Amino acid sequence: MTASGAVMRRRDFITLIGDAAATWPLAARAQQQAMPLVGFLGPASPTEYAHLVTAFRQGLSENGYVEGQNVAIEFRWAEGKYDRLPAFATELVDRHVTVIAGMSLPSALAAKAATSTIPIIFADGGDPVEDGLVSNTDRPTGNLTGVTLFNSALGAKRLELLRELVPTASVVGLLANPGNPNGRRQTNDALEAARTVGTKLEVFAASNDQEIDAAFGLLKEKHVAALMVAVDAFLNSRRPRLTALAAERMIPAIFYDRAFVAGGGLISYGYSIADAYRQAGIYTAKILKGAKPADLPVVQPPKVQLIINIKTAKALGIAVPPSLLSRADEVIE
C-alpha cells in the first residue's frame, strides 16, 4: 500500500467515525421524540398523590410501558385549585400528547372541554353518566373512558355505619368541597339520608385549608358528634391534616378510602382509589397500543372496602360493635 493510499484510508475512517458520532445524538433524539407522551392532569399535588401515581405507573408497566424507557409522562398539578385545570388541559393538548389521564372529575371535565379527539382516561368518584363524561358505560362514545368508583354515591351507607359506631350522635357533620362538580349531589344525598334516619346534618365548606380549620373549629358550637368527609380530590390530598384534626377534636370521622384509616383515621367505606389509578394506567397502556375509548367499557374496582382502625377507636373511647368488626375487610390494630 502506498503512503498516499494509507492516508486516504485513514481520512475515510475518520470521516466515517465523525458521521456516525453526529448521527447518534440525532438518532437518540428521534427515538425520544417518537416516544408516546401521556398527559397526566392531577387535581392535587404530587406529594400527597405519590402513592396513586405509583399505582398508575404500575398499571402502565403491567402492560409493557415503563416511564422513561418507552413512554413519557408530562404532569400538571392543580394543587387543589380546580380553576387551574382548564388551562393545564389546554397546555397538554398543545403538547400533542397521545392520551390524557384526567385523574378526578374536575380534571376529566377540563380535559373533555379542551379536546374532542385526544383519548381521555378518567378516574371518577361519582357516576360518569350523570357527571357528563360518557353517555354509556358499557360502550362509551366520544373520546373518553375510564374508571368509576361510585364512592360519592355511598354517603347513605357511610352515615349508617357512623351511626352504628356512634348511636348517640343526633347531629352529624359533612365536610364537602363546593368547588367539586359533584359536591352538590353528595351534599343533597347526605341530607336526604339524614332526614330518612332522623339525624340533623350540618354541612361545612372545605375548599381550602382555611375552611377546613374553620369547620373543625365550629364542630363543638354546632353540637356535631360525628363527621363524614365527602369524596373529593383536594380533601384526599389533605389526609394527614384531616385525621390529625379529627384526633385533636376527639371527633369520630368516616372517610371513603383506606389511606385515611392507615394514616390514623377511624373508619372508611368505599372503593380503593389506588386500584382505580392502577386500572387507569392499564387503560392508558391499551390506548397507547391502539385501542379506542369506545372499545373499553367504563370499569370499577372489584369491591367496596370497610376498614376500621381499632387503635383510633380506643383513643376516642369507642367500643366497636362485634357485628361491625365481623363485616370489616380489614382491621388495623
pLDDT digits 0-9 by tens, 159-214? 999 999 999 999 999 999 998 888 888 899 999 999 999 999 999 999 999 999 99
- CATH superfamily, domain 152-270+304-332, is Response regulator (3.40.50.2300)
Domain boundaries, given as residue ranges, for the chain: 36-150+273-295, 152-270+304-332
- Name the band, by pLDDT with cuts 50, 70 and 90, for residue 3: very low
Q: Compute how many other C-beta atoms are within 10 angstroms of the C-beta atom of residue 131.
A: 19
pTM of the model: 0.84
Q: Are 60 and 281 in contact (CB under 8 A)?
A: yes
Taking only the tens place, the pLDDT of each residue in 120-166 is 999 988 889 989 999 999 999 899 999 998 877 788 999 999 999 99
Helices 239-248, 209-218: axis angle to 10 degrees equals: 20
DSSP letter for each residue of 295-319:
GS--B--S--EEEEEHHHHHHTT--
Is 19's pLDDT higher than 60? no
Q: What is the residue whose three cell numbers read 379542551?
A: 114
CATH architecture of 36-150+273-295: 3-Layer(aba) Sandwich (3.40)
Residues 256, 315: Cα–Cα separation, whole Å: 21
Confirm whether 36-150+273-295 and 152-270+304-332 share one CATH topology: yes
Residues 115, 144: Cα–Cα separation, whole Å: 10
What's 332's DSSP letter?
Answer: E
